[in-house]
Amino acid sequence: MIKKSLPFLLLAFAFTVATFSCKKPDDRPAPPQAEQEYYPLEIGKWVVYDVDSTIWDDTFCVKRFYHYQVRHRVADTFTDESGRPSYRVETSIRKRVEDDWMPHKVFYATNTNVTLETVHDQQRFINMVFPIENGVTWKGNNYILTNDPDYAFYGDWDYEYKNVGEAYNTGFEIFANTVTVEEVDRAESDPEVFPDVYASRTSSREVYASGVGMVFREYFRWTYDPSTTKCRKGSGVVMRAVDHN
């Protein structure tokens, strides 16, 4: 009796393993609500940012500064090309607080229960992974077509969680429960020290607060080519949340 049952048990075990190993990411249990609150996705949710933008102009060898405000608002839901529930996030812009908001861009956000992904200008980023723990790393730009010269600098970024659950001060508000995502901090030479050598600098990090979403972002990238103007070329931005619902 035992010998006759053994093949059936082995078959049942194999079926069970295959069933669980073939589960799609969307079929996995949702991460704890506390973790999802770092990037809340619900229609009507909005955050306003003060933005300081920098442009390194290699044509005139000048560094230009701009200040304005940007608002991110979750406007609608839809099903993406992979059949996953996703959210449309509309961004608006204004120069001064007293100005009316002007439509700017749209990006998309998807929580797969394994990752939190956003699509900006047709480029998909893996902004977060679950579970959220200090020291967890992932390739956040895996979907970026880095064989395209315009996007090559996105290659091989190692995102990493730091300061999980700690407070963060944006200068406008102290958020009690946040997580920092260090995305890249990469430097090649220094034109101040070696003016005849090619140089570049790329840095990016974001901070997310529970119940709010992204409350801080700092990104900049410039290149320096001594064979042309011997001036930096690039851009940077610092975003700080100043209001939210």
Mean pLDDT score of the chain: 91
Q: pLDDT-derived band of residue 12, with 50, 70 and 90 as boundaries?
A: very low
pLDDT for 10 equals: 41
pLDDT for 239 equals: 99
Q: Is residue 8 part of a domain?
A: no
Q: For residues 181-203, give the mean pLDDT.
A: 97
CA dihedral 50, 56, 62, 68 (to 10 degrees): -20
58 pLDDT more than 80: yes
Kindly list the strands in the beta sheet with 213-224, ordered across the sheet, starting from the edge strand earlier in the chain: 123-129, 115-120, 102-111, 85-94, 62-79, 46-57, 232-244, 213-224, 199-209, 174-188, 159-169, 137-138
What would the pLDDT profile of 196-233 be if each residue is shown by its tens digit? 999 999 999 999 999 999 999 999 999 999 999 999 99
The answer to whether 181 and 190 are in contact (CB under 8 A) is: no
pLDDT for 26 equals: 52
Question: b/e for 41-59, b at 16 or more Cβ within 10 A?
Answer: beeebbbbbbbebebbebe
Q: For residues 46-55, give the mean pLDDT.
A: 99
Q: For residues 113-140, give the mean pLDDT.
A: 98
1 pLDDT more than 60: no
Q: Is residue 5 part of a domain?
A: no
Q: pLDDT-derived band of residue 27, with 50, 70 and 90 as boundaries?
A: low
What would the pLDDT profile of 61-117 be if each residue is shown by its tens digit? 999 999 999 999 999 999 999 999 999 999 999 999 999 999 999 999 999 999 999
The alpha carbon of 60 is separated from its chain's Cα centroid by a whole number of angstroms, namely 32
Q: Is residue 15 part of a domain?
A: no
Q: What is the C-alpha to C-alpha distance for residues 28 and 218, in angstroms, rounded to an integer? A: 32
Q: What is the C-alpha to C-alpha distance for residues 156 and 142, in angstroms, rounded to an integer? A: 8
Q: Is residue 100 part of a domain?
A: yes
163 pLDDT more than 60: yes
pLDDT for 32 equals: 81
Q: For residues 167-194, give the mean pLDDT.
A: 98
CB atoms within 10 A of CB 119: 17
pLDDT for 8 equals: 41
Q: Provide the residue range defining the domain that includes 102.
A: 26-244
16 pLDDT more than 70: no
pLDDT for 175 equals: 98
pLDDT for 28 equals: 64
Q: Is residue 20 part of a domain?
A: no
Q: pLDDT-derived band of residue 154, with 50, 70 and 90 as boundaries?
A: very high
Q: Is residue 192 part of a domain?
A: yes
Q: Is residue 143 part of a domain?
A: yes
Q: Domains in the chain: how many in total?
A: 1
Q: Which residue has the tokens 């999802």?
A: 36
Q: What is the C-alpha to C-alpha distance for residues 127 and 163, in angstroms, rounded to an integer? A: 16
Using CA atoms, how far residue 142 sits from 107, 139, 159, 232, in Å, is: 18, 6, 11, 28
Q: Which residue has the tokens 């300061």?
A: 163
Q: What is the DSSP letter of 29?
A: P
Could you give phi then psi for residue 197, rounded to 5 degrees? -120, 140
What would the pLDDT profile of 223-245 be if each residue is shown by its tens digit? 999 999 999 999 999 999 999 99
Cβ-in-10-Å burial (0-12, 13-18, 19+) of 206 comes to buried
Q: Is residue 97 part of a domain?
A: yes
The answer to whether 242 and 49 are in contact (CB under 8 A) is: yes
